[in-house]
């Protein structure tokens, strides 16, 4: 199967539109060989990445773009926004903060729900790439 983008969506940079991104992704992911648990994990990771994109976009309320690419062995989601870059040092080892913490769970959740992720910042734009592989039973 040749990789193909099957979803391109731009949402306003506002938290009230995060559900639209998750629902659109759910429609695509549900048509793949991902289990319902894997779809839920991917939706959680995408929701966290989109929430961060909304929170840190500059100027405030700038649009957030979502692209979904399905390949023979995986689904890849790209979330991009205009905003300040951030340092990735240690983010792949993020630990869950204490229950009393108000935030800081996003990267921990992403680390534990997708098979692979990275982020690149260039020319005032940040792109987060999330990958969930189709695992087949042996």
CATH of the domain at 45: 3.30.565.10
Higher pLDDT, 34 or 105: 34
82 lies in a domain? yes
DSSP 17: G
103 lies in a domain? yes
138 lies in a domain? no
Between strands 116-122 and 125-133, the pairing is antiparallel
20 lies in a domain? yes
- How many domains are contained in the chain? 1
Mean pLDDT confidence for 109-118: 91
Higher pLDDT, 40 or 1: 40
- Does 116 have pLDDT greater than 90? yes
- What backbone phi and psi angles, to 5 degrees, belong to 50? -65, -40
pLDDT tens profile 29-70: 988 999 999 999 999 999 999 998 998 878 888 899 999 999
Q: How far is CA 34 from the centre of its chain?
A: 16
11 lies in a domain? yes
120 lies in a domain? yes
Q: Which domain holds residue 39?
A: 4-133
Q: How far is CA 13 from the centre of its chain?
A: 15
- Tell me, what's the pLDDT at 102? 66
């Amino acid at each position: 199967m040749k990789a193909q983008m099957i979803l391109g969506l731009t949402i306003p940079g506002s938290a009230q539109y995060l559900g639209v991104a998750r629902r659109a992704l759910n429609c695509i992911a549900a048509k793949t060989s991902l289990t319902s648990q894997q779809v839920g994990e991917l939706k959680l990771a995408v929701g966290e990445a989109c929430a961060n994109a909304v929170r840190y976009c500059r100027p405030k309320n700038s649009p957030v773009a979502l692209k979904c690419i399905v390949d023979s062995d995986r689904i890849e989601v790209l979330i991009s926004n205009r905003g300040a870059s951030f340092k990735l040092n240690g983010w792949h080892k993020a630990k869950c903060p204490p229950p009393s913490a108000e935030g800081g769970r996003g990267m921990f959740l992403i680390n534990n729900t997708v098979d692979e992720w990275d982020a690149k910042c260039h020319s005032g734009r940040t792109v987060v790439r999330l990958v969930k592989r189709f695992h087949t039973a042996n």
